Amino acid sequence: MSKWKLAAGMVPNDRETNNVKPTWENSTSPSGKVSETGDQEYLNLWTEHFADFSGKILEIGAGTGFLAHNILQRNSNVDYSILDLEAHFKEIQHTLKDYPDVSFIKSSEYKKIFEQEWDLLVETHCLSETPIYYYTDIFENLSVKNCFVVDYGNTYEDPVFQPTLDKWFDETFSTKQRLTNNKLLGGDKKDIPVYIGKSSVD
């Protein structure tokens, strides 16, 4: 029996879809104003918690590829994969042109990420913008050892996301840090939750 019961009417139909909310249904490019301060703060957090990381990384929703580029630049011996809308691949690949070995998985084929174990999940402000069935399926079936997650949902629009994320985080990692940060992109003096999960103490 599923640990996360899907809300009525939120199960996808049989046709291939990009598994997105209407906002992103016809998206051809990542959008949103990029803040240098916010971007730098993501890198500060990465350096603080994963400076010496090596292994297989899955990033869900890579935006323009900014964070992926900086991780690949800083960390050696990293095998990087990105799950995103196929329509966004071209822009991300341009950002990552110096890293041709990065793998891409279409959101319409997201179940492929369940076929292997990942050393680290990177996710920033993405899963909260996807349908309930999509993120619950990912949280329930993804096999991952560590996580770097920065995300919070709009509880008015989707009261399921935050408790689902919290439950997954609590049950998946033996070492857990919940931080808050108001310097992150989109913060504007609002404390944004940061989830640092590890399978064991370093």
Give the containing element (helix H, strand E) for 4.
none
**Residue-level pLDDT, tens digit, the chain, 202 residues:** 344 444 434 544 433 477 766 665 666 566 654 444 558 899 999 999 999 999 999 999 998 999 999 999 999 999 999 999 999 999 999 999 999 999 999 999 999 999 999 999 999 989 998 999 999 999 999 999 999 999 987 778 899 999 999 999 999 999 999 999 888 865 566 788 999 999 975 4
Which tokens go with 5?
């019961």
Would you say the pTM of this structure is higher than 0.85? yes
CB 135 within 8 A of CB 127: yes
Amino acid, single-letter form, for residue 61: G
* Residues pairing with 178 in the sheet: 195
